[in-house]
Amino acid sequence: MKSAVITFPGSNREGDVIRALHQASGAEPLKIWHQDHELPQGTDLVVLPGGFSYGDYLRCGAIASRSPVMDAVRSHAAKGGLVLGICNGFQILVESGLLPGVLMRNAGLKFICKMQHLKVCRANTPFTSAYKKNQIIKVAIAHGEGNYIADDETIAMLEDGNRIAFRYCDAEGDTEKGNPNGSINSVAGIYSKKLNVLGMMPHPENLIETLVGGTDGRGLFASITAHKGAA
Amino acid sequence: MKARVTVTLKNGVLDPQGKAIEGALKSFGLEGIESVRQGKIFDIELNSSDPAEAETLLKAAAEKLLANMVVENYRIEILG
Amino acid sequence: MKARVTVTLKNGVLDPQGKAIEGALKSFGLEGIESVRQGKIFDIELNSSDPAEAETLLKAAAEKLLANMVVENYRIEILG
Amino acid sequence: MQNNIAITPELVAQHGLKPDEYKRILDLIGREPTLTELGIFSAMWNEHCSYKSSRLHLKELPTKAPWVIQGPGENAGVIDIGDGLACVFKMESHNHPSYIEPYQGAATGVGGILRDVFTMGARPIATLNALRFGSPDHPKTRHLVSGVVAGIGGYGNSFGVPTVGGQMGFHTRYDGNILVNAMAVGIAKADEIFYAKATGVGNPIVYLGSKTGRDGIHGATMASAAFDDAAEEKRPTVQVGDPFAEKLLLEACRELMQTGAVIAIQDMGAAGLTSSAVEMGAKGDLGIELDLDKVPCRETGMTAYEMMLSESQERMLMVLQPGKEKEAEAIFIKWGLDFAIIGKTTDTLRFVIKQHGEVMADLPIKELGDQAPLYDRPFVETPKRPAIDPKSVTPLMGNANAIVKLMGSPDFASKRWVWEQYDHLILGNTVQSPGGDAAVVRLGDGPRGLALTSDVTPRYCEADPFEGGKQAVAEAYRNIIAVGGTPRAITDNLNFGNPERPDYMGQLVYCIRGLGDACKALDFPVVSGNVSLYNETNGRGILPTPTVGGVGVVDDVSKTATLAFKAAGEFILLIGETKGWLGSSAWLATIAGREEGAPPPVDLEAEKKHGAFISSLIQDGHATSCHDLSDGGLAIALAEMALAGNMGAKIDKLPEGLPNHAALFGEDQARYLVTVKDQAMAAIILRRASSAGVPALMLGKTGGQELTLPGESPISLERLKKAHEDWLPSYVAGEI
Ligand SMILES: Nc1ncnc2c1ncn2[C@@H]1O[C@H](COP(=O)(O)OP(=O)(O)O)[C@@H](O)[C@H]1O
Ligand SMILES: [Mg+2]
C-alpha cells in the first residue's frame, strides 16, 4: 500500500501515524510537504495528520486547508482515493469542504487529553472492516476544538446516509454519557458520501501497542491495508 | 491605508464560547447580561490608497480565508 | 439593549495569530497586505435600557473577564 | 533616546545595580558607560544571569559521574544513556512573569526551556513542571491555577511534546509569588551535541527565528521611557509566546544542524541578544561585533538599548561555517522564519554594538561574565526544631476520616484536571502517564526508556533546609526506583526568598548542602539547574523550594512497575523502617493544623540499600505493583494504590509499637510498598529482605472495594475516589 502523509507547518502527529501505518502495512509512508502540488504516482491513501497546523490560529485547519497540496488531495478524493484526516486533519478536511460541518471549541472550553471510548457505527467501510458494527473501542483524544457542529439538514443527511463513522461513548456504549466535547449526536468521525474520505477527532494511531495504552486503534490501519490488498 | 474586517457567527449557529462567557459573567454576579456572542476582528494595513482596490482585496481575503462562509458572515470597513 | 465590546492587543504586544494570518494571505498572492492584527468582539444583549447603567456593567465585564488588561485594551459601544 | 546621556545614580539604581557594582563597571572600562552599555551590564550582572549570590555555594554540588557528558554551564545538562544516545535536560523557573500574566508567563516558561534543550541538538521528547500556588482561599489563586495550567498546555500541546509529569501544591506562603518551574527532556546522538562556544575569527553570526519587539524589557523599561520623547502608552513587560514559531524553529534548527553548518548555537532567553552573544564570544575567547541595523524587528524605531535587552521569544543566535550562509538561509525561508547575518566574530575580545553606523557599546567581552560581582552573603542556619514524639499527639479525628480528608485536600487531591489539559500521549511513547511515581517514556521503538520525575517537599525545607534538601533528592531517587528505573542525574531549580536576608540566605545554603550530600551518596549528580531568588509575598519569603527534576534510565520498558493494585488476593509488603515520624508531616499540617517539628531525617545509606532491593524485585518480575512512601505516609500510599487499581485491600498488621495514627501517617523515609502474587512469593521476599538487612513487613492482602485498616472502620473506594477526584475541578469551577 502506498500512503502519503502530508506535513503542514505545525503538524506534530505525523510521526505517530507513520508508525501506525508502517506497523500495519509493512511499508514506509511518504512524507509530503504542504507546498507540493502533486501526490506521488500511485498513492492509495492520503493522511492529514494531527497537530496544530499554523498554530491553530484563525480557525483550526483554516490556513492549512488553503495549501497548494490540497488541490491534489481534492482530486485524489474525487477519483475515489482514500483520505484520512485525524484531529487537525479532520479540521482541515472540514475547512477544505471535503467533509461538511465545523469543529468548534470543546463545550468545556478546555483542551482534553484522555482515553476515550468510541462506538464503531459501521464496519463495512475501507476504514473499519477489521471492527464489528457497534463495537466499543478505546482510543485517545487530544484536542481543544473537537465539538462537531452542523445544521439540522447536514446532520440529517449524515445520519440518514449512514455516514457517521464513530460516536463518543462510555465504557458501556452510552453515547450521551460519554460525550467529551459537546459534539452533536456525539459525532467523533464522519465519512464522505462515497465513504472514501474519513475525518475523525480521536487518535487511533496512539493506540497500537499493548505497552502504550492498548491496541484498539490497530483495526483502523489494518482495515485500510486489507482494503488495498483486496482492491 | 487601514481597514477592519469583522467576522461574526451567522444567526442560529451555536457559539459555545459565547455561551460559556455568558455563563461566567452571570456567575460573577453581573446581572443584566442576557446573551453573549463572540466574533473576530482583523485590523489590516494595506499599501494601496485606492478604496475600491482595497475593498476588492479585502473581500478576497475575507472569503478566501478570514471567514468560514459556512458559519460566518463578514463586514469590511475602510478606516482610511 | 445591544452593545459591542471590542478587545484589541496593546501596541507592541506580539500577535502570533495576526502574524500567521498575514503570512498566509501573502502566500495566497494577495499583494498589498502589509500587516494583520487580530482582535475579538463580544456582541452582548443587555436587559437594561439605561445607557449609563449598561456602560458600568460592560466596563465591569470587560475588566473582569473579556479583556486581559495586562496585554489588551477594550472599547465599549452601545448599539441601542 | 540618547545613547550618551549622563549616567545618574538614579539611573544606575533603576537598573538594579548597587553603587559599588557601578564603581566596578567604571574601573573595568575606565570611563562612564553609554546607556546601552549600562543596560548590557545590568542584564549580565543581575541575579538571574550572574548567579552572584548563589555561585559560591553551587560549587558544592557534585556534577560528575562516568555517564555525565556535560554538567552545568551550558544550556542544558547532558548524560549518556547507552546505545549511543544522550539525554539532554534542564529545569527553569518563570515565577514572576506567571504571577503577572499566568497564561503567557507559564507558556513562555515552557518555550524557554524547550529551546534550551533543542539548542543542544536534542529533540524534546517530554516536559514536566512543578507548580506552587498560594492558599486556595487567596482571591487570585483560582485564576492563577487556571491560567498557568492552560498556558503550559497551550504551549506544549501545540509544540508537540508530551507533558508527562509534574507536581502542584498550595501554601499561603506562595500567595503573592507563585512558582512555575518547567523541565524539558530531549534526546540526541551522544556524539552530535551542539555547544555555545564560538570558534574562528571572522565567522558570520546569524539571527534566526521570530522578529525582535519591545517584549519584556522589565524594570529597565521605565528607565528608558523616561528618555523617550514620544509619549506612548505604558508598554506591558510580558512576553507573548508563539509555540507555532517555536515548532518551526525546532525543525529548521535540526535541519540546519544536519548540514554541518553550525559552529555554535545559543538560544536567546533572558537578556536575549546580550547574553547569548556575550556567552558565545566569551566561551570561545573571541570578540563579537553586531550591526543592529540588520536585526529583524517587529516594531519601528527600536533603539540599541531596547534591542539588546528585548526578551522576545522564539529566537536563536548561531555562528556558522563561512560559506554556508545561503544554504542556511534557504532552510529558514522554507520554514517561514527570519534569517539575518547580523555580525561576525573578531579577535579583539570586545563586544561591539553598532547602529546607524555608530558604536553604541564597546565592552570587554570576557569581563562581562567573569568579572560579574560575586557575593559571599552572610547567612544563618535555621534553628533546629524539636522532634515530635508520636505518642504525644492526640488525633483530632478518626484515622479513616483523616485518610479521606487528606486524599481530598488540595495537596493530595487528584491532579487529573491538570494533566488532562496536557497532551501526555503524543509521540506514542508514554508508557506511564501522569499520576504515578515517575513517568516512563520509551525511546524510539524501545526497549530502552527514561523515568522522569520532579519533587520537593517545601514544608520539610522550611523546617530544616539541610534535611529538606536531602529529602527532595531522595524522593526523586525513590520515584525512579519505584517504576523500575536506574536514577542517573538531576536538574534543580532553587526557588528562595531574598538572599540579602541572612535567614533566607541560610535556607539556600543549607538546602544546597543537603542536595549535594544526597546527590553524592546516591550517585545522582546535578547536571543543570536554575536559581530564582527574591521570591516573596508581602515581604515574607516563600517556603524554601529546591525543586529536583530527576532522570533515570529504564533498560526495558516492558519491565517496569506501576502503583496500581493489579489483582485480588495479592500480598502487600512494606519495605523500610517505620518510626511514626509526625514532625512536619502532612497529617499534622492538614488534620491538626500544625506545621511543627523536625522533618523526617533522611538516611541516605538506607535509601540506597532499599532502592537496590526494590530494583531487584522489579527486575526479577516479582513486584506486581510498587509505590514509594512520601508525604502522607503509609495511609496515603495505600489509598493511592487502591484508587489507581480500583481494587481495595485489607490490612491486618501495621508497624508495631506505634499508635495507629503514627503508623499510618508517619513520614519516615526510604520506604516503599510492593505487592506480590501469593503467599509463597511473599515468604521468599521476606527472606530475601532479611538477608539483605532490609526491614520488610507483610501488611495484608488486596481485594474488594474497600480499604480496611486494623481497628478502623472500612473506607469505601467510592468515597475515597469522590473526595480525591472532586476537589480540584470543583475548586477551579468556583463551586467550593
Ligand atoms: N541550581 C543550579 N544547579 C546547577 N546548575 C545550575 C543551577 N542553576 C544554574 N545552573 C547552571 O548554570 C548555567 C546557567 O543557567 P541559566 O542562566 O539558567 O541558563 P540559561 O542562560 O539557559 O537560562 C546553566 O548551565 C545551568 O544548568
Ligand atoms: Mg539557555
Cell 488540595 found at: D410
Ligand 1 atom with the shortest distance to the CA of D279: 21
Residues with CB under 6 A from ligand 1: D 49, 58, 61, 72-75, 90, 92, 116, 269-270, 492, 494, 526, 528-531
Residues of chain D with pLDDT under 70: 1, 218-237
Query: Which pLDDT score, from 0 to 100, does residue D230 have?
Result: 40
Q: Please name the member of B13, B16, B65 whose beta carbon is closest to the beta carbon of A182.
A: B16
Q: Which chains touch B (3 or more CB pairs under 8 A)?
A: A, C
D260: distance to nearest CA of chain A, Å? 23
Q: Which chains touch D (3 or more CB pairs under 8 A)?
A: A, C
Q: Are A38 and A72 in contact (CB under 8 A)?
A: yes
Tell me which residues of D are annotated as active site. 48, 94
Neighboring chain C residues of A54 at a CB cutoff of 8 Å: 20, 24
> D532 CA distance to ligand 2 centroid (A)?
15
Q: Which of the listed residues D56, D61, D118, D528 should we mutate to test ligand 1's pocket, taking the one with most ligand atoms within 8 A of CB?
A: D528
A172: distance to nearest CA of chain B, Å? 27
Report the C-alpha gap between A179 and A181 in whole angstroms.
Answer: 6
> B74 CA distance to ligand 1 centroid (A)?
50
Which of D606, D693, D708, D590 has the alpha carbon at shortest distance from D648? D708
Ligand 1: residue whose CA is nearest its atom 27:
D528
Query: Chain C interface, mutation test: which of D235, D303, D312, D337, most C Cβ atoms within 10 Å?
Result: D235
Q: Do A54 and C28 touch (CB under 8 A)?
A: no
Q: Is the pLDDT of residue B20 over 90?
A: no
Neighboring chain B residues of A102 at a CB cutoff of 8 Å: 68, 70-71
What's the alpha-carbon Rg for chain D, to the nearest Å?
A: 26
- Whether the upstream peptide bond of residue D243 has omega within 30° of 0, thus cis, is no
Q: What is the pLDDT of residues A39-93, one digit of tens each?
A: 999 999 999 999 999 999 999 999 999 999 999 999 999 999 999 999 999 999 9
Higher local confidence (pLDDT), B12 or D436: D436
Ligand 1 atom with the shortest distance to the CA of D63: 4
What's the alpha-carbon Rg for chain A, to the nearest Å?
A: 16
SS (H, E, C) D646-684: CCCEEECCCCCCCCHHHHHHCCCCCCEEEEECCHHHHHH
Q: What is the pLDDT of residues D606-644, one digit of tens each?
A: 999 999 999 999 999 999 999 999 999 999 999 999 999
Q: Do A95 and B68 touch (CB under 8 A)?
A: yes
Query: Chain C interface, mutation test: which of D98, D214, D247, D338, most C Cβ atoms within 10 Å?
Result: D214
Q: Which chains touch C (3 or more CB pairs under 8 A)?
A: A, B, D
Query: Chain D interface, mutation test: which of C14, C15, C19, C71, most D Cβ atoms within 10 Å?
Result: C14
Give the CATH number of domain B2-78.
Answer: 3.30.1280.10
Query: Which pLDDT score, from 0 to 100, does residue D235 have?
Result: 53
> D93 CA distance to ligand 1 centroid (A)?
11
Report the C-alpha gap between A91 and A200 in whole angstroms.
Answer: 9
Neighboring chain B residues of A157 at a CB cutoff of 8 Å: none
D400-421: string of b/e by CB count within 10 Å (b at 16+)?
A: bebbbebbbbbbbbbbebbbbb
Half-sphere exposure (Cβ direction) of A29: Cα atoms closer than 13 Å: 29
Query: Which pLDDT score, from 0 to 100, does residue D225 have?
Result: 37
Q: What is the pLDDT of residues C21-43, one digit of tens each?
A: 999 999 888 889 999 999 999 99
CATH assignment of A3-230, given 3.40.50.880, 3.40.1830.10, 3.30.420.40, 3.10.310.30? 3.40.50.880
Neighboring chain A residues of C26 at a CB cutoff of 8 Å: none
- In this complex, is the C-beta atom of B49 within 8 Å of any C-beta atom belonging to chain C? no
Q: Please name the member of B12, B13, B20 whose beta carbon is closest to the beta carbon of A109.
A: B20
Neighboring chain B residues of C37 at a CB cutoff of 8 Å: 42-43
Query: Which pLDDT score, from 0 to 100, does residue D701 have?
Result: 98
Q: Are D519 and D61 in contact (CB under 8 A)?
A: yes
ipTM score over 0.90, yes or no: yes
Q: Cell digits for D515?
A: 542536595
What mean pLDDT value characterizes chain A? 96
> D196 CA distance to ligand 2 centroid (A)?
9
Query: Which pLDDT score, from 0 to 100, does residue D232 have?
Result: 41
SS (H, E, C) A120-188: ECCCCCCCCCCCCCCCEEEEEEEECCCEEECCHHHHHHHHHCCCEEEEEECCCCCCCCCCCCCCHHHEE
Residue ranges covered by each domain of chain C: 2-78
Q: Are A118 and A161 in contact (CB under 8 A)?
A: no
Ligand number nearest to the C-alpha of D372: 1
Query: Which pLDDT score, from 0 to 100, does residue D67 have?
Result: 98
Q: Are D712 and D702 in contact (CB under 8 A)?
A: no
Q: Are D338 and D209 in contact (CB under 8 A)?
A: yes
> A62 CA distance to ligand 1 centroid (A)?
41
Angle CA D481–D482–D487, to nearest 5: 20
The interface residues of chain D toward chain A in range 389-448, judged by CB-CB distance below 8 A, are 419-431, 442, 446
A92: distance to nearest CA of chain C, Å? 15
Report the C-alpha gap between D93 and D495 in whole angstroms.
Answer: 8
- In this complex, is the C-beta atom of B39 within 8 Å of any C-beta atom belonging to chain C? yes
> D322 CA distance to ligand 2 centroid (A)?
24
Question: How many beta-carbon pairs under 8 angstroms link B with C?
Answer: 101
D274: distance to nearest CA of chain C, Å? 20
Q: Cell digits for D16?
A: 538594579
Query: Which pLDDT score, from 0 to 100, does residue D227 have?
Result: 37
Q: What is the pLDDT of residues A134-163, one digit of tens each?
A: 999 999 999 999 999 999 999 999 999 999
Q: Do B33 and C21 touch (CB under 8 A)?
A: no
Pairing of β D358-364 and β D350-355: antiparallel
Query: Which pLDDT score, from 0 to 100, does residue D223 have?
Result: 35
Walk across the sheet containing D715-716 and list its strands.
D625-628, D672-676, D571-575, D696-702, D649-651, D706-708, D715-716
Provide mean pLDDT across the span A29-44. 96
Query: Which pLDDT score, from 0 to 100, does residue D3 have?
Result: 86
The H-or-E segment that residue D346 falls in is strand D338-346
Query: Which pLDDT score, from 0 to 100, does residue D1 have?
Result: 57
